[in-house]
Every structure is written in structure tokens, then in C-alpha cells.
């Protein structure tokens, strides 16, 4: 309030420019604003109900950010006389209305009222956000509505425009679902690849057996007897009775179908359960990886085609009117030769094969059935080609990669980057911790390897030096022996023919002591040479 008064007072003191205070409601739109935390909780689907702080009856004035921008633009263009303006939409929504709307349209569909004090324990909500969310105030922008020309984006309010607000929010945040279908023969690696992609993209891994089990368990929960509270209204009781009757009828139909088909469920039930799963809010938000289904052209057509389109539209459009909400964006067609698949199954450990379709008879029967289905012109891949979703074909046998890492890498390259919120603060910290540990381990391993290499090199150097010295000593010894062997004849010759005369000459030189001893000795040797005599 003091800041507002200061701004208005400053504008009155100077004529160079005018100052205005625009009192805006809680802003939403674009990346979510202060409601981002509720959008994120709903989109992630990690909690069963969105929290409402207190009783939720407090009225929150709101306005879309683009509408607020329009108000400010009008203030700039027209410089109105009032310097204090209220900018809100026409809605009178409570906190409960807003949170319930978010939960219904992008979350679990439920809310849970928690004590007001617990709001301060929510780490993603700042004090400023809480002040806006817990306010109880009714405001009306009379001057703005009567005098400004605004192209309203959400004049009627948040709840009435939730679809466009959600679309805008998801586009701003890059929250587009990634929908993948992985098909191929048994033992080609569909499930292992789907698991890795589900971890990388944070998607829901959908397998047929899990969908059927989940649907039957849900129906059994509905038909199970419940304790009806005394305060339950008659209308709710009637609706619940109708749901129980429908669920019981469906369960009876499932039981009859499985009895008639040797434990196998009829396609109409499979398609119904799978379609409900793909239309669930988590799959609509994050996306899914459909593992090994549909198997045939007819299953794909029944699963993905629009239910409310007439047959004439199909012919006129030259393309099946598929349901854009659940149709996969990427179809991966894995394949390999029969010999490769048989070899892979034979090499599987017994603990993995036991109780699965990888036993010899069941595997060969499943492989033969898959080949028979995909020989015809109307295969499941033809269906996707017809609706311009061309499968990504990968021959697993040619990659020679037992862990399917190359296939996963190729699919990630085709699909692109994840389209979700990214890592949370905890996940980022965990990733950084793991990266730091890996870096330290790598540096320690490199240091140990370097030290080991240096030690090996030093040992080799010492060994070479010792070998060289040893060989040098051997060479010297051999040279000495050779010299000694070569000097024996010469020594014998000198002792026999030279030394006697030389000793006599030296003695005579010592006795005579001539002026030139060398010349004297030479002359003596020449005269007394035994051979000359």
C-alpha cells in the first residue's frame, strides 16, 4: 500500500510523466503463473487428489496475463483520469473451484482439503503465491469494462476457459504426450525395449495382460458390497446402483467369453479395456508405450477409429477417421529371422523361460501365428500406413546386439527429446551425485591404470637394463677370452726370439750409459739378431 501511495504521489508532483497503479488479480495463462504447482501435480499424476488449503471457500480475483497486458496497453494509449485501476476478469471463483477444475481436466479428478497451515509446508509454493491463493476478496473492474477496448482472452474466467488455458500451458511448457506402439514377433525384444523407452521418456508401459487384469480388478471393486453412509443422498445411491449393475453385467460377459474361448478374452472386451486405458488422464498427459498390441488390422481399426464418425465420412475422406486423442505418434516394427529368434529363445535361462510363452511349443506356435497374420495384405502395419503413420522398421537380427542398445538408440533418435517437465530437483541432485561418483570412479580407475602402466613400464625398463648389463658383461668376457687366445702365439714368439736379446741389450745399455740410449739399443739389437747370425 505504501508503495502504491508513493507511486501515485510521485506522478502528481511531476508533469513529465503520469503514474498508474493497476491492481491485478491472480494471474494465469502461458506457463501457468502461480497455478503452475497445481498444474504440475495434476499432470504428473503422482498423488490421488489435489490439495485445497483450508475450506476452499475464499474467493480469488483472477485475470489472464494477456488480458492484463491488454489493460496496461490501454492505459499507455489512453492515459485515463483515474490513476488507480482494477484489472480482473468477470469470474467469482473460489480456491476450491479453481483446484477442482484443474484436477478434473488434467489430473485425478479429485481434491482433498487439508489444513491451511499445511500450505506453508509445500516447498514449491512461495510466500507470495500463498498470499494470492489464500486471499478472500471480491473485485470488479467497472472502469476497465466500460472504457477500455480489450480483446479478452478469458473474460468469463479461469474455469470457463480451462480448455484453451490448458492447451496454452502445455504448449508453453512443451508438455506434449509421446505415444509409441511397438510391434513385432515373439522374442524380438519388444518388452525390454519398451521398458527402456518408458524410463527414458517417463511414459506408461502398457501391456495387454496388465490392462485386462487392471480392468477386471476395477470391476470387481465396483461390485463388491460397500457400507453406505447414513448421509448419502438418494441420487448418488441410484447412480452407484446403476454402476454396480453395469459392472456386474460386464463381468458376467467376460466370464462367459473366457469360458467359450478356452480362457481367451473376446476382442470386443480387449478393445474396450484398451481404449479406456489409452483415454485415461495419465496416458493423455504423459503418453504411453503400447507393447505388442494391436496384433491384427481389425484390432487396430477397432481400437483407433473414431466411434462417432459415420461410414460416409470414411469413404469421402479416403482415410479412416482415427481418434487423434489415442492414436500413436510413432510405430516401431521390430523384426528378425526365425532362425535368429529360435536361437535367442534356446539361449534363454530356464528361470526366464518357465511359465512364459518362450517354452518351445508355445513359442513356435506363437511365431507361426504371427507370420501367418502378417502374410496377408491387411496387416496391422498396413493400417498405420493407410493413415499416414509409417512404421519405423528395425531388423534386430542384423544389429547383433543382445541388449538391444542399438535399437533403443535408433528409436530415441527417431522420436526425439522427452516432452515432460524434466528432472525434479531431487532427481537432478541424484543425477549429479551419480555423475560425480562416476567421474571420481573413472578418474580413480584412470589414475590406478596410469600408475599400473608406469609400474609395468619401470619394471620392464629395469629388466631391460639388467639384461643389457648382463649381455655387456658377457661380451666383455668373450672379448677378453678372445684376446687372450689370440695373444698366446705372439707371446711365445716374443719370449723365444725377442726377449733374450732385448734383456741383454738393456743390461748393456745400463752398463755403458750412452748419450742416446734408444739409438744404442737399436744398434745393439741389429748387431746381435740371432737370425742374422
> Stretch 152-170: mean pLDDT, rounded?
92
Higher pLDDT, residue 504 or 354: 504
- With the CA atoms of 169, 171, 172 and 178 taken in that order, what torsion angle do they form, in degrees rounded to the nearest 10? 100
Residue 256, pLDDT above cutoff 90: no
pLDDT, tens digit (0-9, with 9 covering 90-100), for 353-406: 555 656 667 888 888 888 888 877 778 999 999 899 999 999 988 887 778 889
Q: Is 263 annotated as a binding residue?
A: yes
Q: Is 487 annotated as a binding residue?
A: no
pLDDT score recorded for residue 412? 92
Higher pLDDT, residue 92 or 491: 92
List, as one string, the DSSP characters of 404-422. -HHHHHHHHHHH-S--S--
Q: Is 260 annotated as a binding residue?
A: yes
Q: Is 280 annotated as a binding residue?
A: no
Q: Is 187 annotated as a binding residue?
A: yes
pLDDT, tens digit (0-9, with 9 covering 90-100), for 451-486: 999 999 999 999 999 999 999 999 999 888 888 888
What residues have CB less than 8 Å from 515, skipping those under 6 apart?
none
Residues 343 and 262 in one domain: yes
- Please count the structural domains in the chain: 3
Q: Which domain CATH number covers 520?
A: 1.20.890.10
Q: Is 191 annotated as a binding residue?
A: yes
Mean pLDDT, the chain, rounded, equals 85
Q: Among 200-214, 289-303, 318-332, 381-395, whose mean pLDDT is lowest?
A: 318-332
What number of CA atoms fall less than 13 Å from residue 17's CA on the CB side? 6
pLDDT score recorded for residue 421? 78
pLDDT score recorded for residue 63? 94
Provide the residue range defining the domain that includes 375. 178-224+242-308+320-422
pLDDT score recorded for residue 14? 67
Q: Is 95 annotated as a binding residue?
A: no
Q: How far is CA 523 from CA 13, 24, 46, 480, 526, in A?
A: 138, 136, 123, 36, 5
Residue 316, pLDDT above cutoff 50: no
pLDDT, tens digit (0-9, with 9 covering 90-100), for 38-82: 999 998 888 899 999 999 999 999 999 999 999 999 998 988 888
Report whether 186 contacts 370 (CB < 8 A): yes
Q: Is 71 annotated as a binding residue?
A: no
Residue 264, pLDDT above cutoff 90: no
Residue 302, pLDDT above cutoff 70: yes
Q: Which domain CATH number covers 4?
A: 3.40.50.720
Q: Is 348 annotated as a binding residue?
A: no
Q: Is 420 annotated as a binding residue?
A: no
Instruction: Please identify, among 142, 173, 204, the residue that sits at the C-terminal boundary of a domain.
Output: 173
- Set of cell numbers at residue 305: 477409429
pLDDT score recorded for residue 231? 44
Residues 338 and 451 in one domain: no
Task: Tell the burial category of 293 from Cβ atoms under 10 Å away from its Cβ (0-12, 13-18, 19+).
Answer: buried
**Residue 294: cis peptide before it, omega within 30 degrees of 0:** yes
pLDDT, tens digit (0-9, with 9 covering 90-100), for 209-246: 999 999 999 888 888 876 554 444 444 455 566 678 88
pLDDT score recorded for residue 398? 87
Residues 210 and 288 in one domain: yes
pLDDT, tens digit (0-9, with 9 covering 90-100), for 444-455: 999 999 999 999
Residues 3 and 91 in one domain: yes
pLDDT, tens digit (0-9, with 9 covering 90-100), for 103-142: 999 988 899 999 988 888 887 888 888 888 999 999 898 8
> Stretch 24-43: mean pLDDT, rounded?
90
Residues 409 and 481 in one domain: no
Higher pLDDT, residue 166 or 240: 166
Residues in the chain: 533
Q: Which domain CATH number covers 271?
A: 3.40.50.300
pLDDT score recorded for residue 500? 86
Percent of the chain with pLDDT over 90: 40
- Alpha-carbon span 284 to 178, nearest angstrom: 9
Q: Is 254 annotated as a binding residue?
A: yes
Instruction: Please identify, among 152, 173, 194, the residue that sits at the C-terminal boundary of a domain.
Output: 173
Q: Is 247 annotated as a binding residue?
A: yes
Confidence of residue 312 (pLDDT cuts 50, 70, 90): very low
533, part of any domain? no
Residue 333, pLDDT above cutoff 90: yes
Q: Is 54 annotated as a binding residue?
A: no
Query: How many CB atoms within 10 Å of residue 426?
Result: 8
Q: Is 188 annotated as a binding residue?
A: yes
Q: Among 87-91, 396-400, 439-443, whose mean pLDDT is lowest?
A: 396-400
Residue 101, pLDDT above cutoff 70: yes
Residues 166 and 139 in one domain: yes
Q: Is 157 annotated as a binding residue?
A: no
What residues have CB less than 8 Å from 168, skipping those under 6 apart?
29, 30
Paired residues of 50 in beta bridges = 111
What's the distance, CA 18 to chain centroid? 52
Closest CA to 244 of 224, 273, 215: 224
Helices (H), 14-156: 36-44, 65-78, 95-106, 127-133, 142-147
Residues 477 and 397 in one domain: no
16, part of any domain? yes
- Alpha-carbon span 80 to 484, nearest angstrom: 124
Residues 416 and 431 in one domain: no
> Stretch 306-315: mean pLDDT, rounded?
51
pTM attached to this predicted model: 0.69
pLDDT score recorded for residue 118? 86
Q: Is 213 annotated as a binding residue?
A: no
Residue 532, pLDDT above cutoff 70: no
Residues 400 and 464 in one domain: no
Amino acid at each position: 500500500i505504501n508503495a502504491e501511495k508513493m507511486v501515485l504521489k510521485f506522478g502528481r508532483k511531476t508533469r513529465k510523466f503520469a503514474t498508474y497503479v493497476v491492481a491485478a488479480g491472480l494471474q494465469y495463462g502461458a506457463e501457468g503463473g502461480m497455478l503452475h504447482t497445481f498444474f504440475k501435480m495434476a499432470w504428473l499424476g503422482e498423488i490421488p487428489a489435489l490439495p485445497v488449503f483450508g475450506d476452499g471457500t475464499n474467493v480469488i480475483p483472477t485475470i489472464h496475463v494477456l488480458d492484463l497486458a491488454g489493460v496496461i496497453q490501454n492505459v499507455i494509449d489512453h492515459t485515463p483520469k483515474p490513476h488507480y485501476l482494477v484489472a480482473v476478469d468477470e469470474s467469482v471463483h473460489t480456491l476450491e473451484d479453481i483446484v477442482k477444475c484443474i484436477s478434473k481436466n488434467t489430473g485425478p479428478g479429485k481434491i482433498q482439503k487439508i489444513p491451511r497451515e499445511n500450505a506453508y509446508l509445500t516447498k514449491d509454493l512461495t510466500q507470495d503465491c500463498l498470499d494470492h491463493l489464500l486471499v478472500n476478496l471480491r473485485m470488479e473492474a467497472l472502469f476497465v469494462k466500460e472504457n477500455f477496448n480489450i480483446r479478452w482472452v478469458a473474460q468469463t474466467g479461469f474455469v470457463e476457459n480451462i480448455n484453451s488455458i490448458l492447451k496454452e500451458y502445455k504448449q508453453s511448457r512443451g508438455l506434449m504426450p509421446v505415444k509409441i506402439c511397438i510391434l513385432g514377433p515373439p522374442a524380438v525384444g519388444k518388452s525390454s525395449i519398451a521398458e527402456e523407452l518408458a524410463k527414458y521418456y517417463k511414459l506408461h508401459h502398457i501391456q495387454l495382460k496388465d490392462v485386462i487384469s487392471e480392468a477386471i480388478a476395477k470391476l470387481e471393486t465396483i461390485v463388491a458390497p460397500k457400507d453406505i453412509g447414513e448421509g448419502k443422498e438418494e441420487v448418488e445411491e441410484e447412480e452407484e446402483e446403476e454402476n454396480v449393475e453395469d459392472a456386474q453385467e460386464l463381468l458376467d460377459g467376460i466370464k462367459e467369453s473366457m469360458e467359450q474361448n478356452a480362457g481367451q478374452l473376446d476382442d470386443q472386451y480387449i478393445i474396450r479395456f484398451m481404449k479406456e486405458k489409452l483415454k485415461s488422464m495419465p496416458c493423455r498427459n504423459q503418453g504411453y508405450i503400447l507393447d505388442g498390441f494391436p496384433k491384427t488390422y481389425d484390432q487396430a481399426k477397432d481400437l483407433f477409429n473414431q466411434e462417432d464418425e459415420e461410414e460416409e465420412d470414411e469413404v469421402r475422406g479416403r482415410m479412416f477417421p482415427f481418434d487423434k486423442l489415442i492414436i500413436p505418434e510413432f510405430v516401431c516394427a521390430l523384426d528378425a529371422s526365425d532362425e535368429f529368434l529360435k536361437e535367442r529363445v534356446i539361449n534363454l535361462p530356464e528361470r526366464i523361460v518357465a511359465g512364459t510363452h518362450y517354452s518351445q511349443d508355445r513359442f513356435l506356435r506363437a511365431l507361426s501365428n504371427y507370420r501367418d497374420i502378417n502374410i496377408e495384405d491387411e496387416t496391422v502395419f498396413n493400417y498405420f500406413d493407410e493413415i499416414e503413420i509409417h512404421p519405423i522398421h528395425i531388423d534386430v537380427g542384423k544389429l547383433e546386439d543382445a541388449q538391444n542398445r542399438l535399437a533403443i538408440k535408433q528409436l530415441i533418435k527417431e522420436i526425439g527429446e522427452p516432452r515432460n517437465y524434466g528432472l525434479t530437483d531431487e532427481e537432478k541432485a541424484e543425477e549429479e551425485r551419480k555423475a560425480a561418483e562416476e567421474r571420481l570412479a573413472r578418474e580413480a580407475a584412470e589414475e590406478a591404470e596410469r600408475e599400473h602402466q608406469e609400474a609395468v613400464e619401470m619394471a620392464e625398463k629395469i629388466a631391460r637394463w639388467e639384461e643389457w648389463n648382463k649381455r655387456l658383461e658377457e661380451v666383455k668376457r668373450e672379448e677378453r677370452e678372445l684376446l687372450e687366445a689370440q695373444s698366446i702365439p705372439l707371446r711365445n714368439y716374443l719370449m723365444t726370439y725377442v726377449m733374450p736379446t732385448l734383456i741383454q741389450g738393456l743390461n748393456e745399455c745400463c752398463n755403458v750409459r750412452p748419450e742416446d740410449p734408444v739409438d744404442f739399443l737399436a744398434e745393439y739389437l741389429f748387431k746381435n739378431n740371432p737370425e742374422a747370425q
